Amino acid sequence: MKIGELAAATGVSIRLLRYYEEQGLLVASRSGGGHRQYDDDAPAAVTRIRTLLAAGLPTRVIRDLTPCFVGDGPEVDACVLDLLREQLVSFDSRIAELQRARTSLADLLDASERHEVAPPFG
């Protein structure tokens, strides 16, 4: 399958498919003329990549998961579940950090609005 065919089959731009290849997420062979050729399972691989990106995983983590996929879906072997758990803990930590920052900002805004000086009448 050529890159344009893969793009049409998945709804993903050619530019993004090239990026996935650069990141080691997608593998293409080269034809005699140097054109990219993808295996028949490439659409499933692209769908998997998109699913994992939507889950917030960075490409470096997805690359580490690639050899561990089970079937055509996003499921992975048990050997990488600890890596996914680490990512989830990291997300929880970042969410807690953002929640604290949001609370601080809301408190500042509330305090400032209570002491807001009315504009002079002109």
Q: What distance in Å separates the CA atoms of residue 12 and residue 8, rounded to the nearest whole number?
A: 7
pLDDT category at 66 given cuts 50, 70, 90 is: confident
What is the separation of C-alpha 54 from the centre of its chain, rounded to a whole number of angstroms?
Answer: 5
pLDDT at 106 > cutoff 80: yes
pLDDT category at 117 given cuts 50, 70, 90 is: low
How confident is the model at residue 2, as a pLDDT?
93
Paired with 69 in beta bridges are 76
Do 48 and 74 contact (CB within 8 A), yes or no? yes
3-state secondary structure the chain: CEHHHHHHHHCCCHHHHHHHHHCCCCCCEECCCCCEECCCCHHHHHHHHHHHHHCCCCHHHHHHHHHHECCCCCCECHHHHHHHHHHHHHHHHHHHHHHHHHHHHHHHHHHHHHCCCCCCCC
Say what angle helices 3-10 and 14-22 make with each other, to 10 degrees. 110
pLDDT at 73 > cutoff 80: no
Tell me which fold the domain 1-76 belongs to.
Answer: Multidrug-efflux Transporter Regulator; Chain: A; Domain 2 (1.10.1660)
What are the structural domain ranges in the chain? 1-76, 78-117
Do 17 and 7 contact (CB within 8 A), yes or no? yes
